[in-house]
Structure 1
């Protein structure tokens, strides 16, 4: 599962950088690369969101490691 954790974390970081670009420059990188709400960009947004939800479990796993 370590590869899934790393992949999820990478996608969430990319999503966070996209939000940074939107917040500072009003530039949506995903929409620029794949089209504004095209099926591919919607898949990317969905994957980033699902990975973010999955990484919520990281809080519990960090607590178990430190004990």
Structure 2
């Protein structure tokens, strides 16, 4: 499970950085690497989206266990 969490977190970070490039410079790195509208680019976008959905699980686990609230009290 830890491997999946790390992998999905990396993909979410990659997706976030790509959106930052799109917003700042109108440059889509995924499309530049794999080709705009290509099947590979679509797969990357799908994997990033699924990774974001997967990362909801650890988020709710952390909020349910009080881990986030404990971090604020330091």
TM class, shorter-chain normalised?
over 0.9
Residue segments in structure 1 that go unaligned for 5+ positions in a row: none
Secondary structure of 1:37's match? Answer: coil
TM-score of the two chains, using structure 1 as the length reference: 0.92
> Is the counterpart of residue 23 in structure 1 residue 23 in structure 2?
yes
Q: Which structure has the bigger radius of gyration?
A: 2
Aligned-partner Cα distance in 2 for 1:22–1:6: 24
TM-score of the two chains, using structure 2 as the length reference: 0.84
Partner of 1:6: 6
CA RMSD of aligned residues (A): 1.4
- How many pairs does the alignment contain? 67
Aligned ranges for residues 1-67 of structure 1 at < 5 Å? 1-63=1-63, 64=65, 66=67
Aligned-partner Cα distance in 1 for 2:66–2:47: 27
Residue segments in structure 2 that go unaligned for 5+ positions in a row: none
- Please identify runs of 4+ aligned residues in structure 1 that moved more than 6 A: none
